[in-house]
A and B are shown apart, each in its own frame.
Chain A
């Protein structure tokens, strides 16, 4: 990172910290949503961007993390910080199971992506018949007290949720920056670019691919816990849906796969775009269901066709931050 990059980062951090004081509640909820997708995108990016393992089922970890913490809270009154550990453990376990199944038997590429979808769908249908957590009727948390902030039970104002998500995103960013420069990060890069060559150089590819899945799945769990306590309701049909997995991965791909800022930028662009489209459609009075998503798809098509590397590498060059595309 050069001096310009540090200046930009400082300015961005200052803006993000001051945001609740500057912005209205609408803007704040939008920013929280951006941070949520930046965080999950960052977690997914460890697997795909760093190690080249395409997961199309990350909604699984969001959902399991959310349900684990919410169920403990609803049934036993155990707070989210304790529930977080269960969420982390369950997600890591699921990640390990998928990774083991796939990598042990030489399943890769398209097949691996399919396996991740299959697990997510399997779990979705399972939860739809899992009565202890409300089955398809949904699981509900008592709506948050807006007046006073209770950080221990994650009940409080939108600003508190914003800061929690900001802290998570910042931590994920720092963690990924460290990972990318670590031994494992370089091994992943080697595996991503050419797995056979990496193996020939003596990298234990099975172990490091497993590590990527474990890190990525466990990292996604806190996002699920946050989701449960922020929205206060969980439906298997929504949270495990494949379209949610796709939402998670669009950010990093559009922002720039394997880069650190890509997931954040991509999440911001997509969320603002989606929201702007909603406003636009409402303003024009063309409120047929589906209009927004069609525009969304068209924009996505455009980005994929004309900016295949994502937005961030091009932007980084223009801003004069790091010729290597900001990695």
Chain B
């Protein structure tokens, strides 16, 4: 036992000495730029595509990328970015868990004098300088649902709307829900009270909750999913009920979503989906990288710029002209090309 204690004391002494030595040692400076890309998770095709676009582009430019996945935990993201700051990274690109934690994390980067860019989820306020690229989720959702409402009006009956709500801890999800309600409330005579189905951004939860909701209210004929990645679950529930029908069929459920992924494009092409809100993923990714690299080059430690992704609603009406602007379509085309 005495030997073990001596050994531990020896180890601890070693740690103290080496720590002291480590504190006085400095890393060799390198010309290579290092960027920390910290994201909250990759639960949808949108985030996967954004991750791919950002990491591949940066690496192609010989930039060292430190990827950090916070698994939807704001505190973990804060810890990861603090660790990146301790490594003296040249810049940070962050997909924050939410706007509030983004403000705190931007503050950490500002204090360390490291430029930071926020991708797709805006900080809750502009009190701390950052580069921000953001889509207007509320407006895009409202636009898509407004088109769906127009289609519903042609049916001359009172509709039973349902919304698949995302994770209520996610600001994008709340904004999409708000956009949905804005469009619905604009037609008080057309719609019954909307049914809200929580999904927690999880496919299994969505399947179970949507099945339960349709057992209680089988007359649902207007459905908006807060994210396109849930379409397979929508189909799995509607199909056995004879409600998975293309536009024009009397049993067709008016369908819409938001993101603009490849599944949504295919379903629109096949005539199952009426409209989908589209964020311009590639524009957003390019914009944040260019802004950050520009700030690094100019030696700016706390650059500030808000870049707006206007986004749009891709509908059955404008599909022919605008499908090229949908990132899901472009991914499909690229895959087909390769």
Whether both chains belong to one complex is answered with no
Using a CB–CB cutoff of 8 Å, the interface residues on chain B facing chain A are: none
